[in-house]
Structure 1
Amino acid sequence: MATTHAAAFTQSRPWSASEFESLLDNPITHYVGDPRCFALFQVIAGEAELLTIATHPSVQRQGLALETMREWHRQAAAMEANRAFLDVAADNVAAIALYERCGYHRCGVRRAYYSRETGTKTDALVMECRLP
């Protein structure tokens, strides 16, 4: 996961293997996908939160992220979550388009939330959707 995350997250600090291990040790954290594309999410009290999704650049634009989004939604709904949330960098146009295609809408903003390698900061859009 850390390898794919590092390849996909070039504008901000990718997560380390130990960070992934720590998250996966938590019983409310779940994983879907494979080494090419994966999502990490948490489910608690009827709500699900996407922690991260990453697609290796060598297989981007092949529908894997959409398939992975749909699968984590299915699994979260099976765990009795009825709403899903996520944060996305306001300048990540491709991710925002994917999330909107999956039924998300903007419900908040976290100002200057993400640090960029250039030293600048960008807002995070908070998005939510109803799960089937």
Structure 2
Amino acid sequence: MTGSKNGQTFQRFGVEGAPLLAALHADAFQGGEIWDEASFVSLLGGAGTEALVISLDGHPAGFILTRTVLDETEILTLAVHPRFQRMGLGRRLVESILPKGKIFLEVSVSNRVAKKLYDASGFVQAGVRRGYYQDGSDAIVMISRI
């Protein structure tokens, strides 16, 4: 484990974390596009992909999944269990990866909460991917200012 603040701890996971990540993702994205355990195994088996889980008082509360290739890092997904939302955990997860340098991500045009989080974390809109998600909705491409 790394870092601790107000009962919050961080822990990095590889493929062994796939069941936990899938469960957290399902809880966070109820009714949305949910990634299953096999998806996480596949992603975490790739070079440069890592998961960082944040726990609150020993309870896994959320995670950020990133992939770094050369000098660019992509946020593949960020999930916080509904019971732990609006406690600043998502922001702590995003802030924890900012030292990686240039970071980009896609966020649904309808996900106002996530967009607000990324705006507050210093990301700016770089473009739009039309029909990016399974439901046909668009994605806003955002990049860090660093």
- Fold similarity call, TM over 0.5: yes
Is the 1:24–1:30 Cα contact (8 Å) retained in structure 2? yes
Give the alignment of 1:39-118 within 5 angstroms.
39-74=64-99, 77=100, 82-116=101-135
Tell me, in whole angstroms, the C-alpha distance in 2 between the residues paired with 1:37 and 1:73: 17
Alpha-carbon distance, 1:18 to partner: 1.2
Q: Does 1:19 align with 2:39?
A: yes
1:15 counterpart letter in structure 2: W
Q: Secondary structure at the match of 1:112?
A: coil
TM-score (norm 2): 0.78
Structure 2 residue ranges without an equivalent (≥5): 1-20, 55-59
Q: Does 1:127 align with 2:142?
A: yes
Structure 1 residue ranges without an equivalent (≥5): none
Q: Secondary structure at the match of 2:122?
A: coil
2:35 counterpart letter in structure 1: W
1:124 counterpart letter in structure 2: A
Alpha-carbon distance, 1:72 to partner: 2.0
Is the 1:32–1:72 Cα contact (8 Å) retained in structure 2? no
Q: Secondary structure at the match of 1:41?
A: strand
Q: Name the structure, 1 or 2, with higher relative contact order (CA <8 Å, separation 6+).
A: 1
Tell me, in whole angstroms, the C-alpha distance in 1 between the residues paired with 2:53 and 2:46: 18
Tell me, in whole angstroms, the C-alpha distance in 2 between the residues paired with 1:19 and 1:86: 18
Tell me, in whole angstroms, the C-alpha distance in 2 between the residues paired with 1:47 and 1:91: 26
Runs of 4+ in structure 1 displaced over 3 angstroms? Answer: none
1:111 counterpart letter in structure 2: R
TM-score (norm 1): 0.86
Kindly, what percent of the aligned residue pairs are identical?
Answer: 36
